[in-house]
Structures are given as C-alpha cells and as structure tokens.
Chain A
C-alpha cells in the first residue's frame, strides 16, 4: 500500500511537520486529515461512529485543503470530535466530505498532543509523478 503520510521531526521542534500523499486530490485531502488526527490520538482506537458533513468552497486547491484541515480542527474543539475515516469529493473548487469519528474520550482514546491550528509556514501542495503531495506544519 502506498504511504499515506510521513512526519519530519526536526523541521519545527515545537510543532508537527508532515508530508501527505495521494493519487488524486480526495486521497491527498484524506491522508492530510488522517495525519492531522494521528498527532492528537491513536487513530485505531477512534471508531468511525458519528458522521459530520463538511461542505467548503475555495477556488484554489491549497486554499481548499487549508480550509478543510482547519474545519476539522474546529470540529474537534466545538463538537469534541476525533475523526479516523474520511470520504472526500472535490469538483471545481467545491469540497463535499464526510468525516467519521467519535466524541473525545480520554479513557478510550490514547490522547496525544492537541493541534491548535494549521499554519501556512512552508505550506505547499504540489503535483507529483504519481499524483499529489502536500507539506503541512501544524501548530501544537
């Protein structure tokens, strides 16, 4: 199976830097979201029980990915959610996604480090030979 994401330890010592990959944009968005939540909890302990529908619009691809990750971070605090599964559709600057997860439970989920925001520091979304990659630094 192709690698979904990879963390870089020493780019931002107080933050979390990663590269996410995807054969297409929906997969890139999904893997970026998985990487983000892997910073906060053990994903395998988060059951995909509750659904949250997300609809966003942004004409730029990197703007849309930024909005998507920020929306998930917002839902984490506002609705006490952790997510472990995503389905994403993207067409012409419109994103329609479903995020699956459950309410935060410190007893059940191995909580790790809170993600406070996605930053724009060194942020990039690029086409590659095999699809897409994104470089993201999360403020933790």
Chain B
C-alpha cells in the first residue's frame, strides 16, 4: 500500500479529472493477464528481487527520497533469488508496473480539511493545504509472489511429513523456521516483498509522469512526494517483550499491516519521532485512511494493525446486488470517476460489499493500536 501527495487542490484537479484518470488507466495496466511497460531481463529481475526499490531508483524510476519513505527502505536484506523457481520468475517478470485485479486499485483522493483529525501529523506527511489531492496505490507482487507461495506450499507438505508436523488445514502448510526449508522460504518470500515494493515504485513513477503530462509541470514541481509504502502481507523476525522478557519472534502480517510507534529504531529519521504512517484501504465508494502507528501497537499487537475494512459480502452476492455499469454511472453522479477493465469486477468491489470503514478506523483508534490522521475521499479510480 502506497500514498503519494501532490500540491494540487481538488479545485485544480476537478476540471481535468477525467484526463488524469484516463491517462492513469492507459499507463498503469490493470486486470487479468496485464503486461507491464517495463521489460526486465532475467538478471535484472533477479536484481530487483534482491535490491528492491534501490534498483528502481538507480534505473530512473524514482527519487532518492523514495527509499527512506518505504518500509525497510524498500529492500529486505535476506532476500535470496536462488531460492525462487524459474517458474515464479517467468510468471512475474512481465508484471512489473501492473495493478492486477480484485481489490487492487489506484485512486485519486482528496484530503478535505474537515477530515483531518491530526493536523500536526498530516503536515509531517506533506498534507498541508485544504482539499489537497493525494494518490493511493493498492497492489502487490502479482503472480510472482503467488507462484512462490504455491511452490513452497508443496515443499512444506513434504517437509511436514519429515518433521512430523500436523495442521488442522492443509493451507497452513509449514516448516520449522530454522530448517533448510523454512530458511529457503524466508529468503524467497523476501524476494516477493521486494518485487511488490518495486512494483508500486514503478507504478508511482508512471503516476508522476501522468500528472506531469496533464498539468504541464514536473513531478518535482507538483511535489509528488511519497508519504509511505507499507507491506500488507509479510512475515518478519522482530523483537518483543513477552511475559517480561525480550524475545525474537516471526510476526506474520497477513491481512494486517505494520504500525510502529514513535521512537522505533526501524523507522527512518522522518518518522522516527512521530511513528510510522499506516495506510488503510476502505472501499472505492467510501474512502480510505491515513493513520499513525503507536507504542501501544508494539506493546499489544506486535506492532500491527488492520489493513483494510474487510468484506461483508461475497463477490457473487455483490454482483447480484449491483451492476457494474450502473454503479459506474451512480458513482460518477456522486463525483467519483471510475475506469475499470471489468464491469462485473467493478460490481464486486461496490462499497456495499465492505464493512463501514469509519467504524473500523474508530475501533483501531479507540483500541489505540493506530491513531486516526486523515480520512481520504475518492474522486477518481482505476480498477482491474
């Protein structure tokens, strides 16, 4: 999940909103089987797996500052490309710069002054003027990470027999962390995370180009700075105080996201004192949120918080409730311009299929595991 600012207000963007979204729709491919603009060679793709965003910045797809605004500087150190199958590589190599489908999206949003709950923190993130326009990107490592998952699901099934491990559901396939299989997977999974960071980085590069083209100013002039990029699906070794003593544990954040508080040494200097930005997706109709990580999250939830509002309705049910083309028109009337590859796919993502994001965020805020900063309202959306 990634959030980028602009110094444009909604009044400036509104007259050209269609042009912005149409340009984004053309330059950031979405949907089943989409190909990216970036044609990496296998050696380059291996570099991306191990170096992450550093590769993108060195190759002209970003700014030096983007690194410090990405979780772990956009590079997981223990990534080991030799632990990734050729199959995963050939599945993922053409997907850099693509959005995917399902709940993945690219959204143009507005930070209305009335929706700012923590002005000081918002200011530190670069949200400084009323009705400022920002862009949010939700996507991951695409088929690449899934192929790694599938490969290791099978390796772990064999390993479990050898280590005499039984689990209640086969999808919980696992291996001891310190075993060869466990360590191999840890190195391969990090490659998927680095590809995901790089994918969002490359997409942001295209977003900067699109805005620059439409508004006739450079991305630097438009102050299209990265607020933060945080993984929504990862496992990492971290240290926590458990029953009075410090222990190293593997924290799996699946359907959750990191929410480190002020003072955490892992954070770059920009967020060291104020805590990590947390980006939580709602729905394309109701909006999303920027929050801040807290000390309490580190004490109570292993430095983690929710990653999205969550569905209440199946995809099929949503399609029975609403038709994609009708939804698109209704949203446009309400001031949200949507471009989607798939109309049935759009219907599946209707706001009514999701929990009330405001309630979800209030719960997190009250529980103290992340602090509400600003509610972001959608005005333009690209979907797979």
Binding site for B on A (CB under 8 A): 7, 9-10, 12-14, 16, 40-41, 70, 73-74, 76-78, 80-82, 104, 106, 110-114, 116-123, 139-140
Could you tell me if A114 and B100 are in contact, using CB atoms closer than 8 angstroms? yes
**With A and B bound together, what is the CA distance between A101 and B316 in angstroms?**
25
Check A41/B32 contact, CB under 8 A, given A14-B103, A113-B342, A113-B348: yes
- Which A residues lie within 8 Å of B368 (CB)? none
Is A7 within 8 A of B316, CB to CB? yes
Contact with A along B161-194 (1 / 0, CB 8 A): 0000000011101000000000000000000000
Give the distance in Å from the alpha carbon of A134 to the alpha carbon of B101 in the complex: 26
In the assembled complex, the CB of B98 is this many whole angstroms from the nearest CB of chain A, namely 10
Chain B 321-354 against A: per-residue CB contact (8 Å), 1 yes, 0 no?
A: 0000000000000000000011011001000000
Given contacts A7-B316, A76-B32, A120-B171, contact A114 B102 (CB under 8 A): yes
Whole-angstrom distance from the CB of B185 to the nearest CB of chain A?
Answer: 15
From residue B36, how far is it (CB to closest CB) to chain A in Å?
Answer: 12
Query: How many residues on B have C-beta within 8 angstroms of the other chain's C-beta atoms?
Result: 37
For B141, give the chain A residue with the smallest CB separation.
A116
Known: A110-B342, A140-B315. A117 touches B101 (CB 8 A): no
Residues of A within 8 A of B103 (CB): 14
Nearest chain A CB to B383's CB is how many angstroms away? 11
CB distance from A138 to the nearest CB of B (A): 11
Neighbouring B residues of A76 by C-beta, 8 Å: 32-33
Stretch at the interface among B106-114, B269-277, B306-314, B371-379: B306-314
Check if B296 is an interface residue, CB within 8 A of chain A.
Answer: no
Knowing A104-B32, A122-B169, the reply to whether A117 touches B150 (Cβ < 8 A) is yes
18 examples of A-B residue contacts, CB within 8 angstroms: A13-B315, A16-B315, A40-B32, A70-B150, A77-B33, A77-B91, A77-B147, A78-B91, A80-B35, A110-B344, A111-B342, A112-B342, A113-B345, A114-B32, A114-B102, A117-B150, A120-B153, A123-B170
- Inside 8 A of B142's CB, which chain A residues have their CB? 77, 116
Query: Shortest beta-carbon distance, B74 to chain A, in Å?
Result: 22
Beyond contacts A74-B91, A77-B33: 4 other A-B pairs, Cβ-Cβ < 8 A, are A41-B32, A111-B342, A117-B147, A121-B171
In the bound complex, how far is the Cα of B101 from the Cα of A106, in angstroms? 13
Minimal beta-carbon separation of B25 from chain A (angstroms): 11
- The listed residue with most B CB atoms (<10 A of its CB), out of A41, A112, A140, is A112
Contact between B143 and A77, CB atoms less than 8 A apart: yes
Distance in Å: Cβ of B34 to nearest Cβ of chain A: 8
B324 CB to closest chain A CB (Å) equals: 10
Task: Report B169 CB to chain A, min CB distance, Å.
Answer: 6
What's the Cα separation between A118 and B147 when bound, in Å? 10
CB distance from B97 to the nearest CB of A (A): 14
Which among A16, A78, A111 is the interface contact of B341 at CB below 8 angstroms? A111
Given contacts A77-B91, A120-B171, contact A10 B100 (CB under 8 A): no
